[in-house]
Homo-oligomer: A and B are copies of this chain.
Amino acid sequence: MARSIKHFLKKGFNFQVTGSLWIECEGERFLGPGKVELLERIADTGSINKAAKQMGMSYKKAWGMVKILNKQTAKPFVIVQTGGEKGGGSTLTEEAWQLIKYHRLLRERFTGFLKKETNRLRT
């Protein structure tokens, strides 16, 4: 292991190891915090359109994200009801909730990794 580099860094300054994490499918984005937030908002509102609006996203973009997701999974994760208001009546499957749970635990492990590395940097 390399020596601590703490003594090379400016004293009194706050140094932090940080980063971002996501899952790819065949080199394309599969899942990250943004898509998880969209799924949770779809579940809350029952509507892709309302979920998109809450996130300041166009309906087209949100719908595209759902469509890609549904193609990357064994069975669709978002059940979209046609008819009625645009994008209304959408629900998440049990598998989607499992994925959201998995993602939360993955983020927790990543946060743990970053904390450990930040501590290592400071000691």
Binding site for B on A (CB under 8 A): 1-3, 5, 7-11, 13-27, 30, 71-75, 77, 95, 98-99, 101-102, 105-106, 109-110, 113, 117, 121
Contacts and interface: CB of A to CB of B under 8 A. Distances in A.
Given A19-B21, A23-B121, A24-B15, A10 B72 contact: yes
17 contacts: A2-B98, A2-B101, A2-B105, A3-B98, A8-B73, A8-B77, A8-B98, A9-B25, A9-B72, A13-B25, A15-B30, A16-B23, A17-B21, A18-B22, A18-B23, A19-B20, A19-B22
Nearest to A72: B10
Nearest to A104: B2
Contact of A5 (B20, B21, B99): B99
Given A99-B5, A105-B2, A17 B23 contact: yes
Contacts of A105: 1-2
A8 B110 contact: no
Given A2-B105, A9-B74, A10-B71, A19 B17 contact: no
